[in-house]
Structure 1
Amino acid sequence: MPVRLKKLIGTFLLVALVIIYALVASIVAVAQLSESGPWVHFLFFLLSGLLWVLPAMGIIKWLMLEPRAKR
């Protein structure tokens, strides 16, 4: 796969990940945390704010892989 195409795909994947993750985290927060106290809100947003980094690291690691040498 050409490097430019790989970077384009990775960019779209990262943007889509952030948008979808933010929407899902917001929906879960509104649906489940409406009656909870401030500490529960704080912990939820702390964890959900850090959790998106794991799949983003996987995408970035894939982007950094060297292309295979052609034989």
Structure 2
Amino acid sequence: MPVRLRKFIGTIAIVSLVIVYALTATILATLILDNRPWWAALLYFTFTGVLWIVPAMFIIKWMAGPPVNRR
């Protein structure tokens, strides 16, 4: 796969991941953190704010993979 196409697909995947992840984390927060103390919300949003990096890391690693050698 050409590098430009891989980067284009990866960019769309990361943007989609961030949108879906943010909506899911916010919906879960409204359901889970309804009558919880402030520190529970702080822990939840700290954890979910860092957790999206794991799948994004794999997408970026795939995007930056070795280029295809054409001979």
Fold match, TM over 0.5? yes
Cα deviation, residue 64, structure 1: 1.0
Question: Normalised by the size of structure 2, how large is the TM-score?
Answer: 0.94
Residue 21 of structure 1: how far off its partner (Å) = 0.3
Shift of 1:68: 3.8
Match of 1:47 in 2: 47
Gaps of 5+ in 1: none
Deviation (angstroms), 1:52: 0.3
Q: Percent identity?
A: 49
Describe the SS at the equivalent of 1:59: helix
Cross-structure match for 1:59: 59
Runs of 4+ residues deviating >2 angstroms: 67-71
2:23 aligns with 23
Residues 19-60 of structure 1: per-residue CA shift (max 9 Å, x gap)? 000000000000111110000000000000000000000000
Q: Which has the higher contact order (CA 8 A, sep 6+)?
A: 2
| Superposition RMSD in Å | 1.1
